[in-house]
Structure 1
Amino acid sequence: MYRTAASRLRALKGRTCRRVPARFSSSIAAATTSSSSGGLLNWFTGGQSKSIPPLDFPLPGVALPSSLPDFVEPGKTKITTFPNGLKIASETSVNPAASIGLYVDCEPIYEPPASFGVSHLLERMAFKSTTNRSHLRTVREVEAIGGNVQAAVSREQIGYTFDALKTYVPEMAELLVDCVRNPAFLDWEVNEQLQKMKEEIAEAAKNPHGLLLKAINSAGFSGALANPLLAPRVCTKCFG
């Protein structure tokens, strides 16, 4: 039995060697020579090799970047106030990325009981169609510069942010201002976001942790600070 297996193995090796194309013979020979000279083994063990340069050897024609200093002083925040009351807080950073945020005093603490959840709807309507560009165009412009936009509502303000490289700061500022100041509030977009709001409220009703935090906030604060962040289910019917 062993002799039969050995003979079959030799026959298989013979057929395999005959099927190897001639164009691979040179590479196989080179690999065999490299392995026999100890180049690959020396590379794994950290020794010197004639064919592979050491890892600490600088590559020719490659400019090394300057090393970072041990201490980088944090940027100073500069606050500029315009005659119309608009305040701009700017900070210089060595980071190649830039972040622009626009914060508006439009939050639940300013909502009367009849309009609870308006800020929730405004958050979902952020960066939709404006009087100057469609929602698709907004998405395409953000994608073209590799940016990221986001809107978030807190109990005291709503913030619109735009993150991208510093090169595109003018485009970022123009798009951000247009989306905040010139929303179109198209009927089909509003209805679509209202439906998503209802689904979000239904999911939040199944979250005990979120319900507990909401109850703690209502018990700890009175007046406007006790207003909910999410729109109540009854108010969504009024919006529709």
Structure 2
Amino acid sequence: MRILSILLFGFVILPALAEQNRVEEFMLDNGMKVIVQPDRRAPVVVSQVWYRVGSSYELPGATGVSHVLEHMMFKGTKHVPPDEFSRIIAALGGSENAFTGVDYTAYFETLSKQHLERALELEADRMRNLLLDEKEFQRELAVVREERRLRTDDDPNGLLWEQFNAVAWRVSPYRNPVIGWMHDLETMSVADLQHWYEQWYSPDNAILVVVGDVQPMEVLALAKKHFGVIEARKKSVYRARPEPEQKGVTRLQVKVPAEQPILVMGYKSPAMVDVKEPWEAYALVVLNSILGEGDSSRLTSRVVREQKLAVSAGSSYDAFSRLSGMLELEAIPAENVDLEVLEKALREQVNALKSIPVSQEELQRVVNQTVAKKVYARDSLFYQAMLIGMREANGYDWKTLDEELQHIRSVTPEQVQAVARKYLIDEHLTVAVLRPKKTDAEGVKKS
């Protein structure tokens, strides 16, 4: 870990550079937050506009509306014809795109720094002047429905995860797919999008993040010029729907034509938003890294390489999700290995974390790897902006990005064991399996 030590030490011994690249935060009079991270390694800038709305805000019968609206944001305003936004950015030598998540929708451009104002001008225009044309809407809706068919309905892994979330969560809006249920996509109207746009696309519900070769005060002046003149709307109030307590293991089985079986296990676990003791969330971050992140994790080293029970195995956990989440495990069994045998092997690794404290040596190695991964992610202008935007859109302060590293280093073996015993229990567990279904084309009667 010598490289990591040098890299981290560099942040300490270069205060002048750190001061020069200090993140600056501003608030416009209309409630829009502006965050600027100078990074002058190249004359390039990344601009991102984040809206605090995603699929977890959607109500039954209207799933997918956030994602469809994201598509329509490129289909013209009072001043810009359909698809012209993308053509303008491309003509300036830049690139642009957008994405919708469970808790946010974001739009971004990467381009030469002298064109930043044009990007902000275009973003501000579609924040308040979007035109929702019926023909464009129907065309784009067909695109989204086809996207759903390709990525979910005809993708066994996508279908398994969709079914897993729908069953694991009883009430939490995380049970709904970002792309939406097909029935909702078939009945969606332009009026639904217009209502969603007016409800959530407002400067007081948005965050502008700019990272690159810029001066913070100059970015602020541009933000005031283009976004500051947009009036705030009365923000909608999100009504939380607490997840009821689970009383035992929940199981589901998905049988579709597929190349290989898959096992998914999810333990309901708190995020930083709802833990009483913040160290628990950081301990879960470290536990997740020990269990299933990277080639040296226990799932990979023991279940895949040593026991040869799986061709792949890993885990994931997000401490900074907007709502309480899960620690999830996914594994693909090796040939001729039953899913029940694989589940037992994964459970043994979970139980080992409960019964025996992780050694200080393993803990230090994993902590170093986790910190290194987070530090290296910041080397990219785009990911610097994305990390800031995600943290802010989920209701956390961007400053937690720096605080997180120190907290992770402070996690102890006893804390890892404590959260394993508290949260990785059957009462929190949902198990989903994908069992490949034979097809007529294979010369076998359908099961």
Q: TM-score range by the shorter chain?
A: 0.5 to 0.7
Task: Please say if residues 128 and 179 of structure 1, whose CA atoms lie closer than 8 Å, have aligned partners that are also in contact.
Answer: no
Residue of structure 2 in register with 1:223 after alignment: 172
Residue of structure 1 in register with 2:341 after alignment: none
CA apart distance, 1:176: 1.6
Larger radius of gyration: 1
Residue of structure 1 in register with 2:154 after alignment: 206
Letter in 2 for 1:85: G
Letter in 1 for 2:39: S
- Give, in whole Å, the separation in 1 of the partners of 2:95 and 2:81: 17
Task: Please say if residues 97 and 164 of structure 1, whose CA atoms lie closer than 8 Å, have aligned partners that are also in contact.
Answer: yes
Secondary structure at the aligned position of 2:75 is classed as coil
Secondary structure at the aligned position of 1:114 is classed as coil
Q: Give the TM-score taking structure 1 as reference length.
A: 0.65
Which whole-Å deviations, capped at 9, do the CAs of 1:124-169 have from their partners, x for residues lacking one? Answer: 2132211111024323321221111111001000001111000111
- Give, in whole Å, the separation in 1 of the partners of 2:43 and 2:168: 43
Which whole-Å deviations, capped at 9, do the CAs of 1:95-141 have from their partners, x for residues lacking one? Answer: 21101111112211111102111012112213221111102432332
Task: Please say if residues 101 and 161 of structure 1, whose CA atoms lie closer than 8 Å, have aligned partners that are also in contact.
Answer: yes
Letter in 2 for 1:173: L
The alignment covers a number of residue pairs equal to 171
Letter in 1 for 2:176: N
Unaligned 5+ segments in structure 1 are 1-69
- Give, in whole Å, the separation in 1 of the partners of 2:153 and 2:83: 32
Alignment of structure 1 residues 143-182 onto 2, 5 Å: 143-182=90-129
Secondary structure at the aligned position of 2:80 is classed as coil
Task: Please say if residues 126 and 151 of structure 1, whose CA atoms lie closer than 8 Å, have aligned partners that are also in contact.
Answer: no
- Give, in whole Å, the separation in 2 of the partners of 1:125 and 1:193: 7
Higher strand share: 2
Q: In percent, how many aligned pairs have the same letter?
A: 24
- Give, in whole Å, the separation in 2 of the partners of 1:162 and 1:146: 11
CA apart distance, 1:235: 0.8
Alignment of structure 1 residues 1-240 onto 2, 5 Å: 73=17, 75-94=21-40, 95-203=42-150, 204-221=152-169, 222-240=171-189
Unaligned 5+ segments in structure 2 are 1-9, 190-447
Which consecutive segments of 4 or more residues in structure 1 shift more than 6 A? none
CA apart distance, 1:84: 2.6
Task: Please say if residues 103 and 157 of structure 1, whose CA atoms lie closer than 8 Å, have aligned partners that are also in contact.
Answer: yes
- Give, in whole Å, the separation in 1 of the partners of 2:176 and 2:29: 32
Task: Please say if residues 151 and 159 of structure 1, whose CA atoms lie closer than 8 Å, have aligned partners that are also in contact.
Answer: yes
Secondary structure at the aligned position of 2:93 is classed as coil
- Give, in whole Å, the separation in 2 of the partners of 1:218 and 1:137: 38
Task: Please say if residues 70 and 100 of structure 2, whose CA atoms lie closer than 8 Å, have aligned partners that are also in contact.
Answer: yes
Letter in 2 for 1:179: R
